[in-house]
Amino acid sequence: MPRRAYSLSESVRYCEKRVSTRHDSLPITSRFLPGAQRPHVFAVYAFARAADDFADEPEYQGQRQNALSAWEDELIRTYHGEADHPIFTALLHTVETCDLPITLFRDLIAGFRMDLAPRTFAQFEELRAYTRLVSEPLGELMLRIFGHREPEDLAFARDLSTGWQLVCMLQNLARDLQRGRVYIPLSDLNHFGILPKGARTAPASAHLLGAPSRAFRDLVRYQVAQARALLERGRPLLDRVEQELRFELLLTYYSAKALLDRIDRAGDALLQGRPALSRTDLARVVAIAATKQVPQLSLRRFLENDSSKNE
């Protein structure tokens, strides 16, 4: 993008277009977003999408580290009130309006830097340390955009975010193995008899690709159960937020559960392709979310009407 002064309206349009063209790993980007928060959500996600592209997309090969460093420099300039890129023009408005701390954005960049080299995670605790950087800041940013800063809410959001991230890792297993990335802890690979003790990144990928069918299915079933458990740990958040954010979280929660069902059924095919929700699946998710939302809205209207009658 050419460096110049961008208006807020054209910057927001740019962010929305950037996110809408590819939102496979972003949980809250639906057309049901309320108008007041919509520009802020897209500004944050456009920032994260661009940084993720620097770490992943082929056109940045050989310049990934420099691109992420330059992106972080732009972030610092933004927090000093300077912006001449549409994403940062929109982000400047968002951080000022929603009072968002720079640390969450810098954590995201640190997480994407971890993807610049093939890596493995010995234990789940190491994988969770990674998701604390690459995923959980987005959950906290979304809550802050909607005005939530309570520690309990933020804790639930972190679990939901990591649960969603685990779903995405399983969904993209085949692609990530080709890039030398193994987002399944080595301890789990060893437990299910897929990986000999002491093996490292490349052998870990090779052993996964050549794993016996039964062992691989058992491994995936366990990973699916772990993702479900984290989604359930974060689920109380859905009943603690206002209706607009609740509907978005319901869509995220039930989309994740539907994807996990597909991943669990995929079996060995998970090593060859990327499971995705069909239009029928998506329609079902929206219907379930709406069903869960309507009773709450009806109860709220009843209480409001009852209150007005008693005044």
pLDDT at 199 over 90: no
- Do 119-241+260-277 and 1-117 fall under one CATH topology? yes
Q: What are the pLDDT digits (tens) for 24-48?
A: 555 555 677 888 999 999 999 999 9
CB 100 within 8 A of CB 94: yes
Distance CA 202, CA 140 (A): 34
What's the pTM value of the predicted model, to 2 decimals? 0.88
CATH value of 119-241+260-277 in 2.130.10.10, 1.10.10.60, 3.30.1490.20, 1.10.600.10 = 1.10.600.10
Which pLDDT does position 301 carry in this prediction? 45
Nearest CA to 263 among 276, 251, 252? 276
Q: Where are the alpha helices (DSSP H) in the chain?
A: 8-20, 38-56, 64-78, 86-98, 102-113, 124-134, 136-145, 151-171, 173-178, 186-191, 201-209, 213-234, 243-266, 279-310
pLDDT tens by residue, 210-267: 888 999 999 999 999 999 999 999 999 999 998 889 999 999 999 999 999 999 999 9
CATH class as words, domain 1-117: mainly alpha
Query: Looking at 3-7, 142-146, 256-260, which range is the least confident one?
Result: 3-7
The pLDDT value recorded for residue 225 is: 98
pLDDT score of 303: 45
Domains of the chain, residue spans: 1-117, 119-241+260-277
Tokens 């359930």 belong to which residue? 232
pLDDT value of position 212:
83
pLDDT computed for residue 156 by the predictor = 97
281-309 pLDDT, tens digit each? 999 998 999 888 765 544 454 445 545 54
